[in-house]
Amino acid sequence: MHKMGEWMVSYRYMSMEMEGLLKGSNKVTKADVAADYSMMGNMLPKDMTMDMHMFGTMYAISDKWTLMGMLNYLDNEMSMQNGNKMESSGLADLKVAGLYDLAQWDSGRRMHLKLGLNLPTGSIDEKYDGQILGYGMQLGSGTYDFEPAITYLAQTENYSYGAQLGGILRIGENDQDYTLGNKFEATLWGARKITDSLSASTKFDYSSQSEVDGKDTRMNEAMSPALDPNSQGRDITTFGLGLNYYYKDG
């Protein structure tokens, strides 16, 4: 949240690497999964890298409302078990949102509401060597998505902590007659000041995404789980440690 008239612009970079195969919560080998697909495992994913460049801006139209927008550029690469590599890159969906100050209390505690909308500017027609890429390699959802969240923050002289609940609710179908799964997200975090410039933090994240509703008829789900609408849902739990350094001078 910002005070009326304040601006903020930001650039963030994130790189994510994934590898291996899971069936439920169990690791499985290529041989375990190959019988489920007609290509006998040749088109099974081996690993995937996603680099994301995130450009954002925020502006407070009042002390109660802060508006924000974010546009991402994605660079995806997936390696298959047969040695082939597939790539996609470009602008993802545009996200716009409003943050509303719900309440403030003593001792630095506050709560705000986010009302966000995902605009389908990212491509869902990405191909490589003439072949349509899987759901995870597409750049957008193809649908308008409602993204609400509620955040609680608290900050004392030496500690800060908070929690957030949010999600993504897909609205309708895209022009390929499918809808990506809805998503639920929860986060808890805390930090402690070490010096006036340095703090250490911990964070716990949980997210749950449903399977794809419908399917892209250009994809043959019998070839690979990357093309299978029933293999796109996931539950992920992560725990993170962080350091934050504040440059006060210069």
Burial grade of 142 (CB within 10 A; 0-12, 13-18, 19 or more): buried
Beta bridge partners of 223: none
pLDDT digits (tens, 9 = 90+) for 113-147: 999 999 999 999 999 888 899 999 999 999 999 99
- Between 223 and 73, residue with greater pLDDT: 73
pLDDT class for 225, splitting at 50, 70, 90? confident
Cα separation, 108 vs 87, in Å, equals 46
Q: φ and ψ at 245, to 5 degrees?
A: -120, 130
Number of structural domains, the chain?
1
Residue 250 in domain: no
Q: Residue 192 corresponds to which tokens in the numbers above?
A: 């402690």
Residue 159 in domain: yes
Residue 201 in domain: yes
pLDDT digits (tens, 9 = 90+) for 35-55: 777 655 567 888 999 999 999
Residue 50 in domain: yes
Residue 32 sits in a domain whose CATH number is: 2.40.160
User: Domain range for residue 78?
Assistant: 7-245
Query: What is the predicted pLDDT for the residue at 41?
Result: 56
Residue 2 in domain: no
Residue 1 in domain: no
- Characterize 29-57 residue by residue with b for buried, 16 or more Cβ atoms within 10 angstroms of its Cβ, and e for exposed: eeeebbeebeeebbbbbbebebeeebeee
Residue 62 in domain: yes
Rg for the chain, CA atoms, rounded: 21
Cα separation, 205 vs 184, in Å, equals 11
